Structure 1
Amino acid sequence: SSFTRRASNLAHVVIKAEGATPTKSVVVLHGILGNKGNWATFSRRYTSRSNVPSSEHAAPFLHLTLCPQHFLPKLMEVPMPIATKKELVATLEAKGFDIGQAQWMTTNLKPLGDGFVWKMDLPVVALLFKAFLATDCWPILEHPPPNTHIHVVRAELNKFWTRDVIRRFDTVATQTHHRVHLHLLEKADHWVHVDNPQGLFAIMQRSFK
């Protein structure tokens, strides 16, 4: 696979198989506090259809289980720049992060002078998260744009998938003449591409034929 970095306001990486001339594109967006490398392994393996993604290099992602409303204020309290990544780990542990969470957060640092600063603008992240909580996507699902199908992955182990939510999806599927699709991803929680990459690959592959 090859990587192409372009100068733009939106940081991104283009991934394609060596020598390939793609006719279609898939846009993969990372989550809050993530970065454009989070899905790189999964996406790179997808460019070669003979390679089913595996869960290698997945361990660091398993640690960030805190809710954003809990950890964002603590991250904003960390004085920047910070001298070393080791110092960040110690600082976050003192604020209640476990060792895995604290170590994972060092992936969000970038060098500046003799120390490190956050790659992201935390006040902006806080605003984005607030906007996320205030956004109701049900109207989009209930009235999808013309000639559009919407596929949603339900992580089997994620506690936010309540019976009421699942029933509502069933209703939406009927109302939209099955233009909204709900796919069950077994043995997966929040990190779907980490918990069950093979299953996620299989779900996505059906749409890319």
Structure 2
Amino acid sequence: MVDQVAKPLARPVRVWSLDATPGKIRAGADGEDHPSELISFLRTLPKEVASKRDMVDTLIREGFSKDVAQWVVTNLRQSSRSASSATSFSWVFDLDGIAQMYQSYEETNLWKIVEDVPRGVHVKFLKAERSLHRWALEDLQRIHAAEELAAEEGGGVEMHVLEDAGHWVHADNPDGLFKILSFSFQGV
């Protein structure tokens, strides 16, 4: 947002990055889910499936975690059918749109914004304590160095850790997430 807006934004600007680094995406270790692999697999599936439970089982057999499989099937809705036909479910997400957004996310590098935060801009990172996202020690060190520099330059960079949460911070610890985010809404 800060990088793309053509005109100066009213200050202060507060930007939150929820369990995502500003640079290169690092794939998970063996056995961890990776979004691009999930997207590729979902593209091979039919538009309609017979059962959410069968779909969870299929995803687990393909090597995706149970948590991811259960989340994916929340994107299935019962298809409208006549009373005499079997129940089926269809996908409600725009998989092409998701693929484009994820590709954009993988290709975007925002370290220049973090390491040279414009005056009046505050970038806040929230790292989930049990994140599957690959937070490299180098990334954490760069963010902490940017915290110190931004404070001297009239901007702001902060790192927060959300305890007892995996990558789905809003589902794993919604109260903790609200508590951390709510401080940024004060004085707005």
Q: Does 1:175 align with 2:149?
A: yes
CA-CA distance at 1:94 after TM superposition: 4.5
> Over residues 100-144 of structure 1, what are the superposed CA-to-partner deviations in whole Å (9 max), with x where a residue is unaligned?
543432210134443332111212212221111101121221233
Counterpart residue type for residue 108 of structure 1: N
Give me the whole-angstrom Cα distance separating, in 1, the residues matched to 2:138 and 2:15: 30
Contact 1:156 1:189 in 2 (8 A): yes
Contact 2:15 2:122 in 1 (8 A): no
Structure 2 gaps of 5+ residues are: 1-13, 20-31, 82-87
- Over the aligned positions, Cα root-mean-square deviation in angstroms equals 3.2
Equivalent pairs counted in the alignment come to 151
Counterpart residue type for residue 181 of structure 1: E
Query: Kindly tell me: are residues 87 and 30 of structure 1, through their superposed partners in 2, closer, same or farther at Cα, counting changes over 3 Å?
Result: farther
Structure 1 gaps of 5+ residues are: 1-25, 32-64
Counterpart residue type for residue 105 of structure 1: V
Structure-to-structure mapping, 1:139-154, within 5 angstroms:
139-154=112-127
Q: Does 1:78 align with 2:45?
A: yes
Q: Which has the higher contact order (CA 8 A, sep 6+)?
A: 2
- Please name the residue that 1:128 is paired with: 101
Give me the whole-angstrom Cα distance separating, in 2, the residues matched to 1:29 and 1:117: 31
Q: Does 1:207 align with 2:184?
A: yes
Give me the whole-angstrom Cα distance separating, in 1, the residues matched to 2:150 and 2:67: 43
Give me the whole-angstrom Cα distance separating, in 1, the residues matched to 2:16 and 2:79: 29
Q: Does 1:192 align with 2:169?
A: yes
Counterpart residue type for residue 165 of structure 2: A
Structure-to-structure mapping, 1:88-167, within 5 angstroms:
88-97=55-64, 100-114=67-81, 115-158=88-131, 160-167=134-141
Query: Kindly tell me: are residues 29 and 120 of structure 1, through their superposed partners in 2, closer, same or farther at Cα, counting changes over 3 Å?
Result: farther
CA-CA distance at 1:145 after TM superposition: 4.0
Query: Kindly tell me: are residues 29 and 180 of structure 1, through their superposed partners in 2, closer, same or farther at Cα, counting changes over 3 Å?
Result: closer
Query: Kindly tell me: are residues 29 and 184 of structure 1, through their superposed partners in 2, closer, same or farther at Cα, counting changes over 3 Å?
Result: closer
Counterpart residue type for residue 202 of structure 1: K
Q: TM-score, normalised by structure 1?
A: 0.59
Report percent identity of matched pairs. Answer: 33
Give me the whole-angstrom Cα distance separating, in 2, the residues matched to 1:104 and 1:187: 18
Secondary structure of residue in 1 paired with 2:38: helix
CA-CA distance at 1:180 after TM superposition: 0.9
Contact 1:78 1:91 in 2 (8 A): no
Secondary structure of residue in 2 paired with 1:151: strand
Q: TM-score, normalised by structure 2?
A: 0.64
